[in-house]
Each structure stands twice: as C-alpha cells, then as structure tokens.
Chain A
Amino acid sequence: ETGVTQTPRHLVMGMTNKKSLKCEQHLGHNAMYWYKQSAKKPLELMFVYNFKEQTENNSVPSRFSPECPNSSHLFLHLHTLQPEDSALYLCASSQPGTDEETQYFGPGTRLLVL
C-alpha cells in the first residue's frame, strides 16, 4: 500500500464537525481522483484533478470541498455532512498521456457520519 496512501483509515464525525481526508501518491502521477463507494452501488466519481487543476466535479454537494496543492497530494475537506454521506472514500491517481490511464487506488477512508 505504498503507492497511494490515505489518512485517516477510519473517521467518525458529527454533522456539525469539520474534518479533512488526505491522500498522497508516490507514483509520480499527475492526475488524482476522489471516489465515493457505497454498498452495492458502482463507484461514484466525485472530483478529478489533472496537473493540480480541477477538471471534473460530478455535481458533488458543496459540503465536500477538494484541495490539490500539488500533484502528489489531494485533500477532501468535509463540513456539515449528512448521515447519507457515510461511505468509503477512495483516492486514486493516474498518469495522463498514457493510453490506458490505469488508475491506482489508496486503501480508502471509512467515514461514518452520526
């Protein structure tokens, strides 16, 4: 699990809390992604950053705020979440310009909103 790391691995927060998820990739990639994974549903792409620029925001509520300070780090800032936001949040990275654009994933952060 050294290619893409995520912290924390587990997070419990109340609806009024503010927290941040962190992702770091050690693969030299220039694209990073946030996904939401809920039980028995396909992965939902939330945000895409390409060379530190946000290129995709799939109608994600504003209570989720991404930040990409450089190509190796990606954050997801959380505030005033709802219980339905409880899920596994996965970070991934890939290298633009390669044909297959294979995405490599972190272990995820299991989020529970009370």
Chain B
Amino acid sequence: AQTVTQSQPEMSVQEAETVTLSCTYDTSESDYYLFWYKQPPSRQMILVIRQEAYKQQNATENRFSVNFQKAAKSFSLKISDSQLGDAAMYFCAYRGMDSNYQLIWGAGTKLIIKP
C-alpha cells in the first residue's frame, strides 16, 4: 500500500527567506500524481502545486516550486521569499493512476513565518 511521510511536524522561517518542506512516499506504481495542499488557520484546504510523475521537470507556481526525485521517492516543496500569508499547515498527497480517486495524505507540516 502507498504511504506518504512528512517528517517535519513543524517548521519556522524568517519572513522573506526560503524554506523547504519535505515529503517522501512509498509506491510500486510508475505513474502517479503528487500534490501539495495548504490549509491556513481559516481551514480552507487549497491546492498549492501538483506534479505528474512522468514529467521530469519540476513544477513551479510563482514562489512555490518542488524538487521531485522519483528514484528517491521524494517530493519536497520550496517556498521562496516567505510571506506572513504562507503560515499554514502544508499537506503532501499522492494519487495513483488507478486509485479510484483516492488521495493518500501525509500528516502535515505546520509552517510558522517569523516577522
């Protein structure tokens, strides 16, 4: 069975600096999707970025980028120029191609932004 591990329960970063959140996963599938979701204190879960496993190029969305290492089964999220609004829980999630729409979730990382 697939699993997703986020080894950092909490991270903090100074405003305007860069922070990297780690995520590792275990799967025997060769094709799948990976996601990072953000959940601010207001609780709405928002998609930050997604990556298709068959694409070698790392996904980028403005200040958010991923470092996808397929062989190592690693999918880290880099946030550049951190802003106060980035403070949230960040969840990594995996979806196989034949998973009947199910996402496998990590336990989350709480990101604290220091002004």
Q: Chain A: residues with CB nearer than 8 A to chain B?
A: 1, 31, 33, 40-43, 45, 48, 50, 55-56, 88, 90, 92, 94, 96, 99-108, 110
Determine the residue in chain A with the shortest Cβ distance to B37.
A105
Determine the residue in chain A with the shortest Cβ distance to B46.
A105
The answer to whether A31 and B43 have CB atoms under 8 Å apart is: no
Contact residues on B (Cβ < 8 Å of other chain), bracket: 20 to 34
Beyond the given A42-B4, A101-B95, A104-B47, please list 4 additional residue pairs across the A-B interface where CB-CB is below 8 A: A42-B108, A48-B102, A55-B101, A100-B52
* B35 contact set on A, CB distance < 8 A: 102
Task: Produce 1/0 per residue, B16-50, CB < 8 A to A.
Answer: 00000000000000000101010000111111001
Given contact pairs A40-B107, A42-B106, A101-B95, A106 touches B44 in the complex (Cβ within 8 A): yes
Given contact pairs A40-B107, A42-B105, A56 touches B100 in the complex (Cβ within 8 A): yes
The answer to whether B107 and A103 have CB atoms under 8 Å apart is: no
The answer to whether B100 and A48 have CB atoms under 8 Å apart is: yes
Q: Chain B: residues with CB nearer than 8 A to chain A?
A: 4, 9, 33, 35, 37, 42-47, 50, 52, 91, 95, 100-108
Picked from A1, A48, A107, the residue with its CB within 8 Å of the CB of B101 is A48
The answer to whether A1 and B44 have CB atoms under 8 Å apart is: yes
Determine the residue in chain A with the shortest Cβ distance to B91.
A43
Least CB distance, A4 to chain B, in whole angstroms = 9
**A106 to B45 Cα, complex, angstroms:** 7
Determine the residue in chain B with the shortest Cβ distance to A94.
B101
Given contact pairs A42-B106, A43-B91, A102 touches B47 in the complex (Cβ within 8 A): yes
* A45 contact set on B, CB distance < 8 A: 102-103
Least CB distance, B99 to chain A, in whole angstroms = 9
* B91 contact set on A, CB distance < 8 A: 42-43
* A108 contact set on B, CB distance < 8 A: 43-44
The answer to whether A55 and B107 have CB atoms under 8 Å apart is: no
